[in-house]
């Protein structure tokens, strides 16, 4: 969560006021925030966007954030450009530590050891708050299909008869090489 741009659903949570037993937070985006999300992610519409968080203390000065982001979106089919309704349901899980913490990532490290089975390194935050809205937006973006296609539609269906017949010499050569497209 190192981006400096402001999220349309930005919501700052005061980490220094976290109750001992943790906190529950729900974000339900209003119409303006949903329009901002649609514009930021090249979607036609965002009909709903709800993020639920559980925030608990972690190793002294850090916090662990878990939860779920759910949304209903409409985006254009990459073949026909017709609107496609989709649902996003992504699990949120992230650990945050203050930037001056011993557990924070070090930018000056020369060697990085990656273990695909290990937990992610903690994210850092400055000041006394984290942006839960920006975190939810990151996981929301992961759930968006980058190439949505209407069910049962192929590129062949989108091409007109004239386009299918007049593909040119390159297509014919590729067809010979591949056997039969």
**What confidence tens digit (pLDDT) does each residue in 45-96 have?**
999 999 999 999 888 788 999 999 999 999 998 888 899 999 999 999 999 8
Distance separating alpha carbons of residues 152 and 149, to the nearest angstrom = 8
**What confidence tens digit (pLDDT) does each residue in 31-48 have?**
999 999 999 999 999 999
User: For 125, left (φ over 0), alpha (ψ -120 to 50), or beta?
Assistant: beta
CB 15 within 8 A of CB 63: yes
Is the dihedral angle over the CA atoms 66, 70, 74, 79 positive or is it negative?
Answer: positive
> pTM of the predicted model, to two decimals?
0.75
Domain boundaries, the chain: 12-154
CB 114 within 8 A of CB 98: no
């Amino acid at each position: 969560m190192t981006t400096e741009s402001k999220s349309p659903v930005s919501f700052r949570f005061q980490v220094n006021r976290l109750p001992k037993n943790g906190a529950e937070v729900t974000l339900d985006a209003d119409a303006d925030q949903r329009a901002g999300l649609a514009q930021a992610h090249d979607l036609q519409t965002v009909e709903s966007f709800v993020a639920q968080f559980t925030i608990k203390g972690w190793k002294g000065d850090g916090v662990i954030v878990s939860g779920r982001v759910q949304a209903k979106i409409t985006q254009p089919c990459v073949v026909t450009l017709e609107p496609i309704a989709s649902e996003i349901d992504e699990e949120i899980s992230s650990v945050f530590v203050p930037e001056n913490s011993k557990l924070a990532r070090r930018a000056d490290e020369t060697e990085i050891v990656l273990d695909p089975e290990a937990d992610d390194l903690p994210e850092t935050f400055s000041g006394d708050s984290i942006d839960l809205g920006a975190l939810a937006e990151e996981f929301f973006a992961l759930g968006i299909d980058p190439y949505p296609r209407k069910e049962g539609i192929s590129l062949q269906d989108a091409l007109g008869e004239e386009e299918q017949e007049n593909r040119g010499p390159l297509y014919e050569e590729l067809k010979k090489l591949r056997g039969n497209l």
